[in-house]
Amino acid sequence: MESAIASPQDMQMLILSFILATMIFGLALDIKPSDFLHVVKEPKAPAAGLIAQFLLLPATTYLITMVVDLNPAIELSMLLVASCPGGAMSNFITLLARGNVALSLSMTAVSSLLAIVLMPLNFGFWASLNPDTAAFLQAVEVDANGIFQMLIFVLAIPLLLGQIVRHFVPVLAAFAHKMLKPTSFLILMGFVVVAVVQNFNAFMINFNVMFTIVLLHNATAFLLGFIAARIGKLDGPDTRAVSIEVGIQNSSLAITLIYSQFSGNADMLLIAALWGTWHLVAGFIVAGASQFCMKNGKHASSEE
């Protein structure tokens, strides 16, 4: 008779799913219905960002995996992260960079909804084109329905509940907003640490290679967002919002899926965990550089 007790890995996945759902619920408390309407009324900037998010980044990542000979698990994790929607921290970093926060919130909300369909399609499509990742996917027998159900649980339902609470119980929404974001973020960082500690030997052996991969991959994401914004002829605040939105991926979603669909594969987990920490560091660097450039630009113009 099989034991009904969940394995430690299953428990980690369930807890992480709950934390991620809580983070998305906290994000939804920030979002006004007008943020969704903003995408319809002024579609140029959101369209530039979403094209970079769901088309340019996954396609470029696929090309990278075809050119550079890496472990299939690492390549698959890169494609998984590239298929994720924008992360909730992108809104805070956009604020620091003096970007268009309303645009950032709109893109995060819409990309989280679109990801329910586009993420599994993107991931499956690009992974199937690479013979190495396609063979790896076939070997682990990924459950496509399981991915879709998890995305409903951690993205769609929290977004809907957040909007309901914000509309009908604004006092509770204001209180929950203050509590949830920092708490869930700290717990999530704890899971990143746990992922590294559990695979510490692999982490130390492959750190230089993995960190280089994540650094270059993340820089590519920021650059693609910037290029899409420039092609769309967006102004400075919109350009910063789009660049940051594409550069800050919801890597915590990738970590959750790695636990649920790939048995917590060490190489995949470490890539996603490194992404989860480095993209924040890179985001703060971008925000700091943006502020420095704006101050110097104002100083130079005042001297003329």
pLDDT for 7 equals 66
pLDDT for 6 equals 59
Report the distance separating Cα 164 and Cα 158, nearest Å: 10
pLDDT for 29 equals 82
CB atoms within 10 A of CB 63: 12
Q: What is the largest CA-CA distance in the chain?
A: 82
Residue 70 DSSP symbol = -
More confident residue, 8 or 146: 146
Region 71-90: mean pLDDT is: 92
Distances from the Cα of 137 to the Cα of 73, 190, 201, 273, angstroms: 9, 28, 25, 20
**Degrees to nearest 5, angle at CA 95 with 92 and 99:** 130
pLDDT for 144 equals 74
pLDDT for 299 equals 47
Q: Quick one: residue 264, left, alpha or beta (phi over 0 = left, psi -120 to 50 = alpha)?
A: left
Which one, of 281, 219, 275, 216, lies nearest residue 80 by Cα? 275
pLDDT for 28 equals 82
Provide the token pair at 6: 């969940």
Report the distance separating Cα 65 and Cα 73, nearest Å: 11
CB 13 within 8 A of CB 260: yes
More confident residue, 162 or 187: 162
Task: Assess whether pLDDT exceeds 50 at residue 154.
Answer: yes
For the ranges 17-26, 85-94, 194-203, the maximum mean pLDDT occurs at 85-94
Task: Indicate the pTM of the whole model.
Answer: 0.87
Task: Assess whether pLDDT exceeds 50 at residue 302.
Answer: no
CB 13 within 8 A of CB 256: yes
* Amino acid present at 68: V
CA torsion, ordered 274, 281, 63, 51, to nearest 10 deg: 120
Q: Could you give the domains of the chain?
A: 9-289 (1.20.1530.20)
Which one, of 185, 176, 188, lies nearest residue 29 by Cα? 176
Task: Assess whether pLDDT exceeds 80 at residue 90.
Answer: yes
Tokens 């005042």 label which residue?
302
pLDDT for 113 equals 87
Region 165-191: mean pLDDT is: 76
Helix (H, G, I), strand (E, B) or coil at 192: helix
Report the distance separating Cα 197 and Cα 2, nearest Å: 30
Task: Assess whether pLDDT exceeds 90 at residue 138.
Answer: no
Tokens 């910037």 label which residue?
226
pLDDT for 2 equals 45
- Least confident span in 2-16, 63-77, 106-120, 142-156: 2-16
241 — pLDDT class (breaks 50, 70, 90): very high
CB 91 within 8 A of CB 101: yes
Task: Assess whether pLDDT exceeds 80 at residue 230.
Answer: yes
pLDDT single digits (tens) 246-276: 999 988 889 888 888 888 888 898 899 889 8
Task: Assess whether pLDDT exceeds 80 at residue 236.
Answer: yes
pLDDT for 80 equals 95
Average pLDDT, the chain: 85
298 — pLDDT class (breaks 50, 70, 90): low
